Structure 1
Amino acid sequence: MIKSLRLIPVFFLLSLPLSLFANFDFNANCLNAYKSIFELKLGNAKAYIATEKKLRPNNSIIPLLENYVDYFTLITSESKADFDRLKGNKSARLDKISDDDEKSPYCLYAQAEINLQWALIHGRYGEYFNAAMEIRKANNQLLENNKKFPNFQLNLKGLGLINAVLGNLPDGALKSTLATFGIKGNLQSGLNMFEKLADNLPKSTYDPFYEEVVFYYAYVLTDVAHSPSAYAKTMKYTERIADTSLLKSYLQSYVCIKNGHNDEAINILAKKPEGGVYQPFPYLDYLEGIAHLNKLDLSASTYFNRFLQTNKGVNYIKDTNLHLGWISLLKGDKSAYSAYISKAINSGYTYNEKDKQAQNEASTPAPPTDLLKARLLFDGGYLSKALQTLVDNKASDFATDKDKTEYNYRLGRIYDDLGKDDLALTSYQATINQGKNLKYYFASNAALQMGRVYEKRKNTAKAREAFNIAIAMKNHEYESSIESQAKAGLRRLAN
C-alpha cells in the first residue's frame, strides 16, 4: 500500500518563503485531487478542484489539475468527441499559468506538463504537427526550469518522457518535424531519469508524485523501450501503490499481458476495484478478453462484446472484431467468422497500430487454426502448449508462403522464449529465407529477434548483421516499429 500522501504546501516542499508561492499552492485539497486522479476517481478529483476554486480561485495549480482530469478522461474514453470538446481548454489554462509567479518552479513546470499531455493526446489522433509543437514547447520549458531550479526533481519526469519517446521514435512525420527544431532524445537517458525518480521520490518530499512517475515509466519500459525488464520493474514499482487505484490494475495487467504473465493478468483484472466512483475504462474489458483468449478460453467473447457495448472511443474496434472472428474460427463457425471479419474491415478506425494490423489481417485468408492457437498461447506465455500445437506439423504442410513463413516464425519465437537459442536461430533464418519478400512482418521481426539472440551471446558482428537485415526490409507490417527497435539495437552495440 502507498504511504498516505503528506499534505505539504509547496513552500514547505522546497523550503522557500511563502510569498514566492502564493499562487502555486499544492495544498492538501490539491493533493487530494491529484491522488484521486491517479486512482482514476475523476469525479472525486473534480469535487476537490471545485472546492479549491471557491477557496482560492487564483491558485494556479488548479488549471494543471483540470488538465490532468481532461487527459485521463481522454485516455480512458478514447473518444474523438471528447477530444474535440476538451482540446479548447488548453490555451486558457496556459494563459492563466504563464501570467503568474515566474519565481515558482511550478510556473514553467505546469505549462510544460499541459503541453506534454496534449502532445501525447494529439499524437494518438495522428495530429503530429500539433504534437511536435507541444513537445518543443514542453522541452524548452523544462530545460529552462531545470536551469533555474536544478533541485526541483519533477523536471526529470517530463524530460525523461521526452528523451525516451524521442530517442526511440520511428521515422515519420513527428520525428522529422522535431528534427527540424534540433530536438533529439536519448532512450537510455530517459530510462535513467525515470529509474532515479522511482527510486528516490519515496524517500523525499516529492513522494505524492510517485504514482505519476511510475505510470510513465511503465509505459516507456513496455511500449517504447520494449525492455525485457518491463515486467519485473513495473511490478516492483507498482507494489507500493494502493490497491484502491484502478490505474494500478491497468498498469499491472497490461505489462503482464505484454510479457506472457497471462494468468497473473487475469487474476489482477478479476480483482480490480469497481464502483461508480471510478472513471469508466472499457479498455480493461478488452484487455480481459485478450487475456482469456490467450489461454484459448473462448468465453473471452463476453469481455470483447462488453467492450464494444460500453466503448465510446475510436480505438480497438477493428481489433476486437478480429478477435471475435478468431473465436468463431476456433469454434468452427465459419459464417460468424466471416461476419466479424467484415466488421473488422468496415467498422472502426485506424488511428492505432493494433487496428491497422487488424484491418490488414482481416483482409487476408483465415489463418490455419494450429497457427492461430500457437500464436495465442505464445502471447499468453504458455510456451509448452504452444509448441505442442506445432510439433506434429512442418512448413511444407501449409499451403501458402504466408503460412509457411508464419510456421517458422512461431517456432522461432517459442524456442527463443524457451531458451533454445540454436533452434530459435534456425527457425528465424528459415522465416527470413521464406518471407523476406512478403508484406508480412514475420521475416523482419525474425531478423530483429535474431539480432537480440546474438546480442545476448555477445556476438556483435552477427547481431549487427541481423539488425541491419531487419532495417533493410521495407513495405511490411509494423515496419516503423521494427525498424526503430533494430536501430536501438545497433545503438546498444555501438556503446
Structure 2
Amino acid sequence: MELTCIIIIFLCSKLGWYVRFIRQKIKLSSVSVAFFFLFCIPAIAIPQSYKYPKELDLRLEKVLNFDFSKTNYELSAKVKNTTSPLDILPTCNQVLLKTLFYTTDSERLHKEYEINTNLLDKIEKLEKNSAEWGYVKTRLLINKTLIHFFREEYFSALWSAYRANSLFSETYYKYPDYPPLHALASVYNLGVKIVIEKNSFIEYFISKPFKVDSNLIKINWSESEKPIFDAIVNNLLNENSENKTEVKVKTETEKLIYAFYYLNSGLSQNAIDISNNNSLINNPLDNYIKGWANLTLGNYRLAEKQFNKHIESPENVVFKRASLLGLYYIEIINGSKSSRTLYLNRLSLMPKSNFFRDKMAEREIKTEHHPKLLKARLLFDAKLYSKAKNELNSVNVKKLSPEFKLEYYYRYGRILFQLQDYDYSLEKFQKALDPDMPEKSYYKAQSAYDCGKIYVIKNNIEKARNYFNQSIQYAKKANRKDIEDKAKSELNKL
C-alpha cells in the first residue's frame, strides 16, 4: 500500500497541470457515480459464510510463496480453461509480485504486461454479473496501472487507475456483502488518508473513503490472501508494531510485508527475526532485508556477507543496487579506501529499479561521506539513539569541513530530539541554522521543523510558528515538498 500511495503522489506531481484542469469534472462525476450506485442499483447479498474454494487457496499460497515454477511466464492450464473469475487470481497475484520484485528490465516488464492483458481479455468473456468478476478485474486494472507507472507511461497509468477506481466503486456498492471488497476498501481508505495528508488537492481526484463493515472484515474468506490484507492494514495503522514478530505468517509475501515495515520503521532486529522464520522457504529478498537491518545495527561483517549473497543471486530481483550501496557504506565506515569509480562501474552493470533504495544508490555513491557521521546516521535509523550519540561524541568537530559540520549539528540535534533532551537539541539545531553554515537546505529545513516541534512542546506558539515558516522556506530551496507540507500542516494546527 505504501507503494500505491507513492504511485498516486508521483503520478499527480507529473500530471499536476492536467489534474488541476480536470479535477472539478472528476469530482462531479465521482459524486454522480456514487449517487447512481448507492440509490439506483439493487444490492446483491453474499452469504456471510463466504470463503474461497480450498483448491484456489492452495494455488494462491504457492504463488504468494514465490513459487512460479508451474507457470514460467506462461498462463497455466487452469487459466486457459477458466470458467470463474477467481481462477484468474493466482496468475493475477503472480503478475503483481513479478512486477514489483522481479521485473528489473523492460523485456520482462513487457511480458508481465502481455500476461495481464491476456487475463483482462479472458475476464471480459466471462459472466460479468458477479462480485468476483468486479473484484478480480479491479485487481487486474491495478496491475496495469503499476506496470504503466514502471514503464513511465504516466497518462496511461492515470487512466488505468481511474478505470480501476470506477469499477471498484461500482462493484462495492452493488455487492456490499462481499468480504474481499471490504478488505480492499480498508486498504484503500488508509492509503487515501495518507495520500491526502501529503497532497491535499488529490482529494478532488480520487474517491472518498468507503464505509467498511467491521463484521465483514473479520470473516476469514481466504487462508492465503486475507492475511496479506490484514498485514497491510495493521502496518499502515502502526498497530502492535513491537509484537508483530509473534504473528504466525502463512506466506512469504506476508512475511515480506512485515519485514519491510520493520525495516522502514527502524525496528531492524524485528526485521531480522521475522526474516529468519524457518517455517517458510527463504525468498530472494531475505538477504537484502537482513543485510540492511544488520548494517543499521552495526553488524558489518554479517551485513557484508548478506549483501554479497543478494548481489550474487542468479535471480534478477530488485534491491541489488541498494545492496551494493550497503557494501560501499561498510567500506567507508571501516576506513577502507573505497573506490567510488569501481562502485559506479559495478552499479552501471546492474539493472535499474523503481524502488527508492535502488534509485538512491548512484546519488549516495557519488556523495562524500564522513565515516562517523554515516555510522551515526545508520544507528539513528535503527533507533539506537544513545549509540549514535556516542559516535558523534568521538568526532573532532574543529577538524570537520563546513559541510560536515552542518551535518554534524543536524544529526546531533535529531538524536537529542529523540532522546527528549530538547534544550540541548535546540542548541545543536540553531548551530545548524547559523547563516554562516553552508546553504544545504535539507538539513536546515528539517532542523527548523524540529525546532518548531520543540517549541510546540514548550507551548511557545510564536517561536514555533517562526521556525515552521523558516522550515517552509528552506524546504522550497531544497525542493523537499514533504517537509514543506508537514511544516504547513503544523502551522495550521497552531
TM range (shorter): 0.7 to 0.9
Corresponding letter in the other structure for 2:269: D
1:319 to 317, 322, 339: 322
CA distance in 2, matches of 1:456, 1:324: 40
Please name the residue that 1:75 is paired with: 100
Quick one: distance in 2 between partners of 1:374 and 1:380? 10
- Sequence identity of aligned pairs in percent? 20
Contact kept in structure 2, 1:116 and 1:158, CA below 8 Å: no
Once the two structures are TM-superposed, the CA of residue 371 in structure 1 deviates from its matched residue by 0.6
Higher alpha-carbon deviation: 73-82 or 480-489: 480-489
Which position in structure 2 is the counterpart of 1:64?
A: 89
The equivalent residue for 1:368 is: 370
Change (3 A) 1:206 1:434: farther
1:334 is paired with a residue of what secondary structure?
coil
Equivalent residues of 1:325, 1:341 under 8 A apart: no
Query: Which residue, out of 126, 134, 150, partners 1:100?
Result: 126
Aligned residues: 448
The match for 2:420 is 419
Deviations along 1:242-291, one digit per CA (max 9) or x if unpaired, are 3x52234323332222223223323333335554xx6x52x322221111
SS in 2 for 1:88: helix
Provide, for residues 331-359 of structure 1, a one-character-per-residue CA deviation record: whole Å limited to 9, x for no partner. 32215465325545785536333344332
Change in 2 beyond 3 A, CA 1:98/1:215 = farther
After alignment, is 334-343 or 258-267 more displaced? 334-343
Q: How does 1:155-174 map onto structure 2 within 5 Å?
A: 155-165=181-191, 167-169=193-195
* TM-score with structure 2 setting the length: 0.75
The answer to whether the 8 Å contact 2:266/2:382 transfers is yes
C-alpha distance in 2, partners of 1:169/1:436? 34
Tell me: CA distance 1:160–1:271, structure 2 relative to 1, closer, same or farther (3 Å). closer
Q: Deviations over 1:360-408 (max 9, x none)?
A: 232232x2211111112111222211100112447544113x2122111
After the TM superposition, which residues 191-340 of structure 1 pair with which residues of structure 2 at under 5 Å, given as runs? 201-203=217-219, 205=221, 209-217=225-233, 221=236, 230=238, 232-234=239-241, 239-242=246-249, 244-273=250-279, 275=281, 280-281=283-284, 283-299=285-301, 300-310=303-313, 312-313=315-316, 315-336=318-339, 339-340=342-343
AA aligned opposite 2:253: L
Q: 1:15 aligns with which of 19, 42, 47?
A: 47
Contact 1:32/1:45, CA 8 A, preserved across alignment? no
Shift of 1:136: 0.8
Mapped to 2, the partners of 1:262 and 1:368 lie a distance apart of 23
Q: What letter is aligned with 2:373?
A: L
Q: Distance in 2 between matches of 1:425 and 1:490?
A: 19
SS state of the match for residue 473, structure 1?
helix
Conserved? CA contact 1:322–1:341, under 8 Å: no
Is the Cα–Cα contact under 8 Å of residues 52 and 222 in structure 2 kept in the other structure?
no
Contact kept in structure 2, 1:260 and 1:381, CA below 8 Å: yes
Superposed CA offset, 1:422-468 (max 9, x none): 33344334334469974563223334444555566777766665555
SS state at 2:298 partner? coil
- 1:452-491 maps to which residues of 2 (within 5 A)? 453=454, 466-474=467-475, 479-483=480-484, 485-486=486-487
Q: For residue 349 of structure 1, what is the aligned residue in structure 2? A: 352
* Counterparts in 2 of 1:91 and 1:270: CA distance versus 1, 3 Å: closer
Give the deviation of 1:144 after TM superposition: 1.4
Alignment of 1:96-135 (within 5 A): 96-135=122-161
* Change in CA separation of 1:454 and 1:140 when aligned onto 2, cut-off 3 Å: farther
Given that residues 77 and 313 in structure 1 are in contact (C-alpha distance below 8 angstroms), is that contact kept between their aligned partners in structure 2? yes
* C-alpha distance in 2 between matches for 1:338 and 1:424: 38
Partner of 1:404: 405
| Corresponding residue of 2:42 | none
* Partner Cα separation in structure 2 for residue 457 and residue 125 of structure 1: 48
Per mean C-alpha deviation after superposition, the further-off stretch among 251-260 and 343-352 is 343-352
Q: Using a 3 Å threshold, how does the CA distance of structure 1 residues 359 and 480 change in structure 2: closer, same or farther?
A: farther
Would the aligned equivalents of 2:182 and 2:216 in 1 still touch at CA under 8 Å? no
**Offset of residue 168 of structure 1:** 4.3
In the aligned structure 2, how far is the partner of 1:88 from the partner of 1:208? 26
SS state of the match for residue 286, structure 2?
Answer: helix
- The one-letter code matched in structure 2 to 1:427 is K
- Structure 1 match to 2:10: none
1:6 aligned residue: none
Question: C-alpha displacement at 1:184, in angstroms?
Answer: 3.5
Q: Which residue of 1 aligns with 2:7?
A: none
Could you tell me how far 1:87 is from its partner in structure 2? 0.6
Q: 1:272–1:123: structure 2 CA closer, same or farther, 3 Å change rule?
A: farther
What value does the CA root-mean-square deviation take over the aligned residues? 4.2
Which residue of structure 1 aligns with residue 206 of structure 2?
184
Following the alignment from structure 2 to structure 1, what is the Cα–Cα distance between the partners of residues 288 and 400?
31
Q: 1:414 to 1:112 in 2, by over 3 A?
A: same
Structure-1 residue corresponding to 2:23: none
1:141-184: CA deviation from partner (whole Å, max 9, x where unpaired): 11112221223343344444445445544999xx89x96x9413
Relative distance call for 1:82 and 1:404 in structure 2 (3 A) is same
CA distance in 2, matches of 1:51, 1:487: 55
* Structure 2: segments with no counterpart, 5+ residues: 1-44
Structure 1's 200 and 108: CA in aligned 2 closer, same or farther, altered over 3 A? closer
The 1:36/1:318 distance shift into structure 2, 3 A limit, reads closer
The residue type equivalent to 2:444 in the other structure is A
Change in 2 beyond 3 A, CA 1:106/1:285: same
State whether residues 328 and 365 of structure 2, in contact with CA within 8 Å, keep that contact through their aligned partners in structure 1: no
Distance 1:161 1:89, change over 3 A: same
User: Structure 1 residues 257 and 91 mapped into 2: Cα distance closer, same or farther (>3 Å)?
Assistant: closer
CA gap of 1:480–1:128, structure 2 versus 1, over 3 A, is: farther
Q: Secondary structure at the match of 2:300?
A: coil
- Residues 206 and 266 (structure 1), Cα distance of their counterparts in 2 relative to 1, 3 Å cut: closer
Q: Does 1:137 align with 2:137?
A: no
